[in-house]
Amino acid sequence: MKKVVILGAGNVATHLIRAFQASPETKVVQLYNHDATRLKDFEKEVATTTNLSKLAEADFYLLALKDDAIKEVVKKMPLTGGIVMHTSGGKSIKVLSKFEHYGVFYPLQTFSRSREVNFREIPLCLEANSPTTLLRMEALARCISENIYEIDSEQRKALHVAAVFANNFTNHLYGMASDICARNGVEFEILRPLIKETAAKVEVLSPAEAQTGPALRGDKQTIKTHLKLLKRSEKKIYKRLTSSIRKFHGKKL
């Protein structure tokens, strides 16, 4: 049985706890959080502590913390023979270098407390300070996911930016679309099948192959009509993305 201590009680920590508790090969032996109120929801499932000097013995210590909190928690954590890992896409592996065995255990997914996710489909991006540590981390990762990748700190940084485009910015475009609908008395739900298919298409086609629309076609008349309907801030984004699509596909507007 692989023993895991989780540090943090946010969305990532919540989903990791569920995934490890669901696996027959892993057990979350303790949950740490600096704020006791956040621990209340978990007390029935797992032992909890707010004291870093009272961390339980474990094979793995998983810091599922906000980027800003990692440094402080690492500083206060006692040394351990277990493998200490963080889950951050943006932080280097080096922030953990005071430990003997350490690594990064980055699940590339967007987590909401209220939404169940199938953890087995989530890509886990691993980096370790040694080949032995990597092997042990891979064994842990395989208990909860089928998509395991070895990704170094530089690659992970790039992946983190790419994820901002594919998730945060994409969701914001949905938000703008929703706003345009609301202003014109149209239900946003009409767009939902389109959003679903847009995402499904890139499961089988490359985004370049899947591109369509007035920007790609160079349909100036439609673009002009569209701009008239937009607010100033939306216009700027519409123009910027339209010209970016043209350039991306080697065309001139």
Q: Which of residues 27-46 bind its own copies (CB under 8 A)?
A: none
| Closest alpha carbon to 81 in 60, 65, 54 | 60
When binding is defined by CB under 8 A, the residue of 44, 78, 208, 252 that contacts its own copies is 208
- The answer to whether residue 171 forms part of the interface with its own copies (CB under 8 A) is yes
Question: Which of 14-22, 49-57, 96-104, 176-184 is the region at the interface with its own copies (rule: CB under 8 A)?
Answer: 176-184
User: Helices (DSSP H) in the chain: which residue ranges?
Assistant: 11-22, 67-76, 131-142, 153-163, 170-183, 192-201, 207-210, 214-217, 220-229, 232-248
Of 20-28, 56-64, 69-77, 213-221, the window that binds its own copies (rule: CB under 8 A) is 213-221
Applying CB under 8 A, does 215 fall inside the site for its own copies?
Answer: yes
DSSP code string of 200-218: HHTTTS-HHHH--SHHHHT
> By CB under 8 A, what part of segment 58-77 binds its own copies?
67
Residue among 22, 36, 202, 253 that touches its own copies (CB under 8 A): 202
Which range of residues in 13-21, 43-51, 94-102, 166-174 is near its own copies by CB under 8 A? 166-174
Cβ atoms of 125 and 154 within 8 Å: the answer is no
- As measured in angstroms, the least distance from the Cβ of 130 to its own copies is 22
Under rule CB under 8 A, residue 143 binds its own copies: no
153 binds its own copies (CB under 8 A): no
Tokens 């208990």 found at: 143
CA distance 48 to 45: 9
Residue 193 within binding range of its own copies, rule CB under 8 A: yes
Choose which of 125, 126, 128, 137 interacts with its own copies (CB under 8 A). Answer: 125
**C-alpha–C-alpha distance, residues 129 and 175, integer Å:** 41
186 binds its own copies (CB under 8 A): yes
d(Cα 44, Cα 46) in Å, to the nearest integer?
6
Q: Per DSSP, what are the bridge partners of residue 61?
A: 5, 84
Which of 196, 220, 251, 253 binds its own copies (CB under 8 A)? It is 196
Nearest to 91 by CA among 65, 117, 114, 110: 65
Contact mark string toward its own copies, 85..124, x via CB under 8 A: -----x-----------------xxx-x-xx-x---xxx-
